[in-house]
Amino acid sequence: MSLEDQMIQDFIALVETQWPLFVDCQRELTQLCESLPEDKEAMSDAIAAWCESHPAIQNAIDVLSGNEISDGSKAPGTQGKAPPPPQDPKMYQEMLQNNIRRNQSPSQPKP
């Protein structure tokens, strides 16, 4: 799997499994998702730049991707075979949008 695919998949997994990290930046996350470029490299770069401005999320991405494992063990989900990345980068955007919609608090008004 390419580094771009790994970054995008890790971010989507983080949105799906650690939603509390995103509660205070839901609007920004939605804007990021809506403005993602259509090619994987640019999409990965945009996600990485967004994560850099959100240190807690960046730290969680680092742990998830295995860049920062404090106890020497592997991060969850890294021991099996990951599903192959989608051929169409738009699938990543749809996956991210679906996870955001599923997790967004119903009390937050939509813009």
Determine, yes or no, domain membership for 77: no
The CA angle 68-47-19, to the nearest 5 degrees, is: 70
Contact 52, 45 (CB under 8 A): no
> Does residue 81 carry a pLDDT above 90?
no
Query: pLDDT of 52-73, one tens digit each?
Result: 999 999 999 999 887 654 444 4
Determine, yes or no, domain membership for 9: yes
Determine, yes or no, domain membership for 18: yes
Residue 20's domain spans which residues?
3-70+84-103
Using pLDDT thresholds of 50, 70 and 90, give the confidence band for residue 30: very high
Contact 21, 14 (CB under 8 A): yes
Determine, yes or no, domain membership for 53: yes
As a whole number, mean pLDDT of residues 17-31 equals 92
Query: What is the tally of structural domains in the chain?
Result: 1
Determine, yes or no, domain membership for 108: no
Q: What is the mean pLDDT of the chain?
A: 81
The pTM for the full model equals 0.75
Determine, yes or no, domain membership for 15: yes
